[in-house]
Structure formats: structure tokens, C-alpha cells
Chain A
Amino acid sequence: MPQELNYLKETPSQTAGPYVHIGLAPGAAGFDIYDRELGWDIAGPNAKGERIRIEGLVTDGTRSPVKDVLIEAWQANADGIYAHPEHAGNIEDGFRGWGRAITDFETGKWGFDTIKPGPVVGHTGTVMAPHINLWIVARGINIGLNTRLYFSDEEDANAADPVINLIEWEKRRQTLIAQRIEQDGQIIYRFDICLQGDDETVFFDI
């Protein structure tokens, strides 16, 4: 036997199960326990940029809505800077860049309010189009699914995006594009996530 490398192995994932809300969004589960629930303040009142709402539905392989999903979002600010010590740049007070949304138990609809992120410099110095990183967990999902939400009104930037262009199947690229709608003066991006099937959303191994 050769020498051992002595790395530890990552803890195996398990499904978040049907009651994920108890732990991560207890108010939604029907009881108040914390003074402050985390994840409802992606972009505080001081955040720069266009105020937007993200809305959607998660569907399964039968096109039925999945009503027990929890989605986390991670995004840069309007200047394309993440609120993290490894990313140099100014972050306005109260911009967190991270949020959590759960689906309505009756309809499966989910949504969150934030600001539209700016473009971010990517792996090899190329510029990534504005995007929000999403992580999806639920009963039946054994390991969290990573995807990205891009914006329909960023056509040129999307066409040059190094991650979108990694997807060889061009028809699948559109599954990552949220559609801009203006409704009663509010900017809404509609982003439906399909877990399985021909029009399945692209998921990443990051």
C-alpha cells in the first residue's frame, strides 16, 4: 500500500425532508421561536440598484408543483461585489446578498425581494452576466441542487456569459433565464424551476 493521503471525506448529504421549515423558517412552519428569522433581508433598505422581485414555481417530473421546497439565494450587489471578505470592494450597509425563500404550502409559489445584481468577474477574468446563485433543497432531493438565475433583459451579457456557454445544448440555456415582467410599477422576474423532464432546469456541480 502507498502512503495515505489523510484527507477527510466530506460529510454525506441527506435530504432536508418535508419539515425543513421547522429548522430554517419556523415562522412558516406555524410557530414563532426566534426573535429574528434569517434570510428575509437579502438587500436592505440602503442597497443600491434596481428593486426587483423574483417569483416562480418548482415542478417535478410530472409537472406537479413541489410545495415543500426551500430555496437559498446568493448574489452580488449592484456593483458586482459579494458581501464576503474574499471579494474586494465596497458593500453598502445592510446588503447581505443571501436569502431564503420557502414555497406556499397550498400553491407551491415562492418569491423574494432583492436588487438586481451587477456583472461579476469570473474564473479566468471574463465577465459573468448578472446572475443569482440558487440552492434548492426539499423532500426527495438527496443533495442540494445548484442553479443560476439570469435575466431576460441582459441578452448581450448572457450571450457572452462563460457559464451559460459551457452548456453545450443550446436549447437548455433558456432554462436559466428569468423573464422580466412589469406589473403595477413593480419589476418581477419569473423563474420556474423544473426538476425533471425534457425542459428540466440546468443544474450545476459547483
Chain B
Amino acid sequence: MTPNGEFYQRDREWQPPAYAPDYKTSVTRSPRYPLISLQNSVSEVTGPVFGHNDIGPTDNDLLSNYAKPGESPIGERIILHGRVLDENARPIPNTLVEIWQANAGGRYRHKKDSYLAPIDPNFGGCGRTLTDENGYYHFRTVKPGAYPWRNWVNNWRPAHVHVSVFGTAFAQRLITQCYFEGDPLIDKCPIVKTIPDPNAIERLIAPLDLNASIPFDSLTYKFDIVLRGRRSTLFENRLEGN
């Protein structure tokens, strides 16, 4: 029994389906049987808790967290910021947000990435932070470059930052990708188009946030993240946790 209510059921028509044949890798990695739907138990409404001891104070600064002293990565300096909210529009404080990305040339610092664009000696490409009491987070980084991938012969991923968020429950666990306003590759990407609803795709496009940009330093993009919301237990139990 849980004092707070269950999470709203995930809208599987809004989320991408497992099987999306234009994204070829999904063809053999998608379950054929239907998912078994579970009412939430304590196994689903709880999840890991992280604290400031878990991460370093500059882990959210990709401009410095891998750079040699006095140097910095090459590329367009940006701030990526936003809030983590639930479907009831309430902020989710103290939750772990992790990001990873390619460098300005579209090359990942990963031993499996063999794209001919060079590694940047001052750029690692990953960061993490906890949201504050208002659900707010921010990172400093460089804007990633587009890169080619083996799907169709001439497929290119739009510039994107991978984003992982926990929320307060294992049922809220989410990994997604943040795209950038105005990128002409977004409409052509089979991974983006695994999402059936164009309104849902728009939720993944970070607008330029000029008001939050720092003159002579960095442009800013805003990316809000929404995790599943929770029901009030109006009739079964005490009213809490709406």
C-alpha cells in the first residue's frame, strides 16, 4: 500500500512504439508480444534518491569538466537550461539529470565511434546535475554537431543532446533527446519520426532563449522536461501528493 497515488498511465500513443521499421535497429530489438500492464505497487512508485555527495560541483559544466587547465573546447558555447516538471505542472526538485553528446564536429568520445571528424582534446561530452528546489537545472556545453549514421546510406542525426532523468519513482524513468530550434535535419530523421505525433516531436525541440543568453559569452537554449504525474488518492486514502 502506498500513501500517495499511482502514476497516470503512460500514453503509449504519444510515446514512440517499440517497432518503428524506418529506424532499422528497432526491427529486431522490439518485443512482439504486448506489454503486460501493471497497477503500481511500491516497486514502481519508489526509485533511487541522489544527493550532492554523488556528483561533483562542476559536473554540469562540459566546457571545463574535461578541458586542460586554461583551455576550453572548440565550438558554439551554449547554456542548456530548463525545469523538470510532472504532468500536474509541479516541479520535481533534487532529481538527477544526466546528459551526453557529441562534440562540435559530431564526434563522440567513445571507442566505438569511428567517424572521421576529430576528437576534441578538451571535450568529454557528458555532464550531470541535480534540479534545485524549483525543479530547475542548467548545463554549460558546446552545441553538438550533426553526424552520419548507418541506417539509410545518407542518414544524418540532427544536432542533439541525450538527456536522462529519474524523477522520484522507477515508473518515471526516462531517456530522451533534446534537439535545437530551426535544425532542418529534425524533419528528416527516422529516430525523431519514431514519434507518431508532430506535437510530441515539438516537445523535444529546445527554443533559442535569448533572454537567458549571456552577452559576449554564451547563447542559451531552454529544454523543459515533463515526467509522469501522480493521482491524488481522493477516495481511497488520504489526500496527498497530487
Interface residues of A (CB under 8 A from B): 6-24, 26, 29-31, 33-36, 38, 60-62, 64, 66, 68, 72, 74, 76, 82-87, 96-98, 105, 120-123, 125, 128, 131, 133, 135, 137-146, 148, 163, 166-167, 172, 195-197, 200-206
Contacts and interface: CB of A to CB of B under 8 A. Distances in A.
Interface of B: 1-4, 8-12, 14-18, 20, 23, 25-33, 35-50, 54-56, 59, 65-66, 85-89, 96, 98-100, 108-113, 124-126, 128, 162, 164, 168, 170-171, 173-177, 191-192, 194-195, 200-201, 203-204, 225-229
Contacts of B10: 10, 205
Contact of B100 (A22, A97, A131, A196): A22
B29 A195 contact: yes
Given A12-B203, A20-B162, A196 B30 contact: yes
A98 B100 CA distance: 21
Contacts of B33: 172, 200, 202-203
B162 A13 contact: no
Q: What is the interface of chain B mostly: helix, strand, loop, or mixed? A: loop
A29 B110 contact: yes
Contacts of A137: 175
Contacts of B126: 22-23, 26, 33
Contacts of B39: 123
B190 to A, nearest CB: 11
Contacts of A84: 46-49, 168
21 contacts: A9-B11, A9-B14, A10-B14, A13-B16, A20-B100, A22-B100, A29-B109, A33-B65, A60-B28, A74-B47, A84-B48, A86-B46, A135-B170, A140-B27, A142-B18, A163-B41, A195-B28, A196-B29, A196-B32, A203-B33, A204-B36
Contact of A86 (B4, B9, B48, B228): B4
Given A18-B112, A140-B29, A205-B35, A31 B170 contact: no
A15 B226 CA distance: 17
Contacts of A163: 38, 41
A23 B28 CA distance: 25
